[in-house]
Structure 1
Amino acid sequence: MSVQPVTRVWLRNKRRLLDVQAGLARRRFRRIRNTFYNSLWSDAAEAVGAELSRCPNGLVRIRKGQASTFVDHSDLMLDSAITLRLMANKAMTFDFMAETDLRTPAFAKFMLSTIEKAEAFLAGQNGPVVVKPADGTGGGRGVTTGIRTVQALHAAARHAAGFNQALMVEEQLVGASFRLVYFDGEFIDAVRRDSPIVVGDGTSSVSALVKAENERRLEGEEITALSPLILDQESRNTLAASGLTASHVPAADEEVRVKLAVNENGAAQNHVVRDDVHPSIIDAGARLVKSFGIRFAGLDVTASDISAPLGQGDTIFNEVNVNPGIHHHYLVANRDRTVDLAPLLLNRMFETGAGTITL
């Protein structure tokens, strides 16, 4: 057997091992996630004068009078299963969004068998690209950013294909990442989500700092994140763009961005910016989520200046999420600006009857 096939098999086995390790790391955070949402819904039910009980199948029932709603972490009863399936298919929603008059990312759909489509897309870009599964995932799983070479493209595609055979490649956007939340088209809140970082102590490597950060998230007195920070190909690309590796030892107080994708950041990297979003962006987002018929929506937007009018701040509408993570609006650095989203949602649902059953 030649060296090249042996090397390829070794790399494939290494990627599988890393994926297993990442899965085990996420499993360790189930307790943190359950603790956070159990407390959130218990407090929210009390705030709206409702009763909370736990069902044998894991759902949480919140009852007020004869009306009941059921929740599971941040999943609510507002949007249909068909809507969830539709919006989980990123390729389909990108196609629909591209038909609007809003600026959306350039992208191409492909599979491993048609990876030449992704190669052609990469060749036509002036900067790096992102590869992700086109359907059935969330939370940044299977996503790789900072792709500049065909070799990196193939590695990212194989990684993403482990989650779904349908794949996407898109332009890597420049600007800050924002999550805007809407209920029935009404704007409720916005959070700027910055990339996860570690801060050097002068003696520890980046990988050691990431390990320490994950232990703090698991064992700290207060909850700051519901998922671990994973060193993966996406983080290796991000570090390499700064000329670094995971073995780099940052100076004391030196900040190192571990990855571009914001899904694994902590509270220190989330900032409430509800009052900073320009009305034209809010209105455009409302039109978009209402056009999809989504009741509880989280709209991901990239912008260099979220306070600038639409068209002046390089605003790009990236993705529409159904049942967006509520924790993003609580685990923030500037807690004095938070909106208590959970009881607000319950009040709207009980007042309107949306997402409830009457018994």
Structure 2
Amino acid sequence: MTKGTMDSIRYYYNVGRRGLEYMSEIQGESTGDPSIMILRECALDKGMKVEEFVNGTYECTNGKKTRFFGMPPDSGTAIWLCSNKFATYELLKKNGFDRVPYYRKYTLGTINEAREDFKTRDKVAVVKPCSQTFGGTGVTANIRTVRKLNKAIFRSLVYGSEYLVEDHIEGDNFRVLCYGDRMLNVVQRLPANVTGDGANTIKQLIDKENVKRVEDRSPFRLYSIKVDKDVEQTLRDKGMSLNHVPADGERVFLRTVCNHEAGDETTDITSIVHPDVISYCEGIMRTINTTLSGIDIITTDITKPLAESGGVINEVNTSPGLMFHDRATSMKVIDHLFDQAPPR
């Protein structure tokens, strides 16, 4: 049996196995889109009239102006561009925004090229679906071996016929929320984690944390920490398992990729972001011409320009989760939607 045939068999096997898992992932654990619920609550707090429309959307009226929550405010072109990571990178580079990671696009048919490029470059890599996924779905980071690259490729192919292989960029994850060409808020994103007490195992710490999270039903709540193969692999890479007992005060990160619906956290760091980073993101907004977007950045130091810190633009999201940010930020979004935002 040829290697190409084996690759095809592995691909279709993974499609069947992972496809069912993906259907479970996208259902999440909420009873409605948190961002829509947040906009609804904020509009009601401002005294606006809000009525349920169709399929989980809401019609909001303020005076003579009406907006719909749950319907994309952007053009189809902007939405398509940002849903396709390869197209996003290409457009950014074409317009002078070169702070993106090294990347190449592949398919199942060019998997050997991906392997050879990985071995030739000898860099730690990331594999991700080219388009139509969210929240870290199908993404594998910190790839150091061809074996792990193969697993990552077949995992990614479950979600689409094309995938990207990028250089793994060391640093922290940040989300820059913008409306039009104006920055509203910046948060640091932290993968799901637990803090040891010297007595409980990682699994027990996760269970205790999840009990707290389930009790919070607000749209801004933290999602339960999901234990899956990604968590198990991340712990193995650290020489740990779910049965490991962390020392008192020891913080253990359970994933290498941020995924809000799998339990990650955020911290507001707007006040320390370097002005050049803000200007860079606002320029991207003007280039892609989106209304409300979240720009994901990886950098070791958000207080420095990206060129100085070695930081990169990781993604541009046209459906940014407002639950990453505080209520005051969502109130600003409402103001912009109804053209009530104060001037710069």
Q: Is residue 95 of structure 1 aligned with residue 101 of structure 2?
A: no
**Identical counterparts, % of pairs:** 24
Q: For residue 53 of structure 1, what is the amino acid of its counterpart?
A: E
2:105 matches 1:104: no
Partner of 2:339: 351
Does the C-alpha gap of structure 1 residues 85 and 28 become closer, same or farther in structure 2, counting only changes over 3 Å?
Answer: closer
Structure 1: 4+ residue segments shifted above 6 A: 8-15, 265-268
Deviations 1:187-235 (A, max 9, x none): 1110011222122344544344444444432234766645443334433
Residue identity matched to 1:98: K
Letter in 2 for 1:27: Q
**Equivalent-residue separation in structure 1 for 2:64 and 2:219 (angstroms):** 34
Q: Which amino acid aligns with 1:188?
A: L
Q: Which residue of 1 aligns with 2:47?
A: 49
SS in 2 for 1:317: strand
Unaligned runs of 5+ in 1: 331-338, 354-359
Counterpart residue identity of residue 27, structure 2: R
Change beyond 3 A, Cα 1:39–1:59? closer
Supply the distance in 1 between the matched residues of 2:186 and 2:292 (Cα, whole angstroms).
Answer: 14
RMSD: 3.2
Q: Which runs of 5+ in 2 are unaligned?
A: none
Q: Give, in angstroms, the shift of residue 290 of structure 1.
A: 0.7
- Equivalents in 1 of 2:255, 2:273: separation in Å? 25
Deviations 1:50-108 (A, max 9, x none): 10010133211111122211112xxx542112311221011111122233243210111
Q: Is the 8 A contact 2:299 2:306 kept in 1?
A: no
Aligned to 1:188: 184
2:328 matches 1:340 = yes
Q: How does 1:165-204 map to 2 (within 5 A)?
A: 165-204=161-200
* Equivalent position of 1:58 in the other structure: 56
CA 1:211/1:130 → structure 2, altered by over 3 Å: closer, same or farther?
A: farther
How far the C-alpha of 1:285 sits from its partner, in A, is: 1.2
Cα distance change on mapping 1:193 and 1:114 into 2, 3 Å: same
The answer to whether the 8 Å contact 1:280/1:309 transfers is yes
Q: Which residue of 1 aligns with 2:67?
A: 69
Inter-CA distance 22–266: structure 2 relative to 1 (3 Å threshold): closer
Instruction: Judge conservation of contact 1:129–1:145 (CA < 8 Å) in 2.
Output: yes
Aligned-partner Cα distance in 1 for 2:279–2:54? 41
Structure 2 counterpart of 1:240, from 225, 236, 243: 236
Is 1:78 the equivalent of 2:73?
Answer: yes
Contact 1:194–1:265 (Cα < 8 Å) also in 2: no
Q: TM-score, structure 2 length as denominator?
A: 0.85
Say how many residue pairs are matched: 336
Deviations 1:222-281 (A, max 9, x none): 666454433344334422332223343333443211111112378883111111111111
Mapped contact 2:193–2:252 kept (Cα < 8 A): yes
Distance between the aligned counterparts of 1:26 and 1:205, measured in 2? 29
Question: How far, CA to CA, are the matches of 1:228 and 1:124 in structure 2?
Answer: 40
**Aligned amino acid, residue 88 of structure 2:** T
| C-alpha distance in structure 1 between counterparts of 2:152 and 2:304, whole Å | 34
Change (3 A) 1:57 1:266: closer
Equivalent residue letter for 2:168: Q
Deviates more, 1:102-111 or 1:195-204: 195-204
Larger CA deviation: 309-318 vs 212-221: 212-221
Rounded Cα–Cα distance in structure 2 between residues aligned with 1:318 and 1:220:
30
Structure 2 counterpart of 1:43, one-letter code: E
Please give the alpha-carbon distance, in whole angstroms, between the structure 1 residues aligned to 2:264 and 2:132.
29
- CA distance in 2 between counterparts of 1:85 and 1:341 reads 26
What is the TM-score with the length of structure 1 in the denominator?
0.82
Q: Secondary structure at the match of 2:309?
A: coil
Q: CA deviation at 1:317?
A: 1.6
